[in-house]
Amino acid sequence: MALAALLAVWRNHAPGGLTDSHAAGITKANFDRIAEGNCADEVNQFFGVPPGDYRSELGFLLVGPGHIPWTEQARGGKLEIWYIPRCHVEVLFDRNGRVIGKYWHDVDANR
């Protein structure tokens, strides 16, 4: 019984401090693939997961407009955020669900 529980914990452990191994696709290389005009489904395919907090240890969540300048084009749109350990990604969509801006924040790169 204890071996089965240990195996279940091991199988569900995601690499890199992630709560979901599918979030391992949230990388700078995949971020760089995001282009203005992409739709949300395309962005989710690049990252492998929808926006959310994929850190195993929860931390600060961005509150407010984010780091991408809001323009008239963003009116009626939305900001989506993906959190991974020591990093977060912001993607701003217009009212038609198309990318109009993106931002990558890596804590280690800003030291």
pLDDT digits (tens, 9 = 90+) for 50-91: 999 999 988 888 877 789 998 999 999 999 999 999 999 999
CA 66 to chain centre: 13
Would you say the pTM of this structure is higher than 0.95? no
- Helices assigned H by DSSP within the chain: 2-12, 28-33, 40-47
Higher pLDDT, 25 or 108: 25
SS3 at position 5: helix
Q: In whole angstroms, give the CA distance from residue 1 to residue 51.
A: 36
What's the pLDDT score for residue 66? 86
Q: Are 81 and 60 in contact (CB under 8 A)?
A: no
Domain ranges of the chain: 2-110
For residue 17, pLDDT beyond 60? yes
Single-letter code of the amino acid located at 14: A
- In this predicted structure, what is the pLDDT of residue 2? 39
Q: Which residue would you say has higher pLDDT here, 1 or 64?
A: 64
Alpha-carbon distance 98 to 56, whole Å? 30
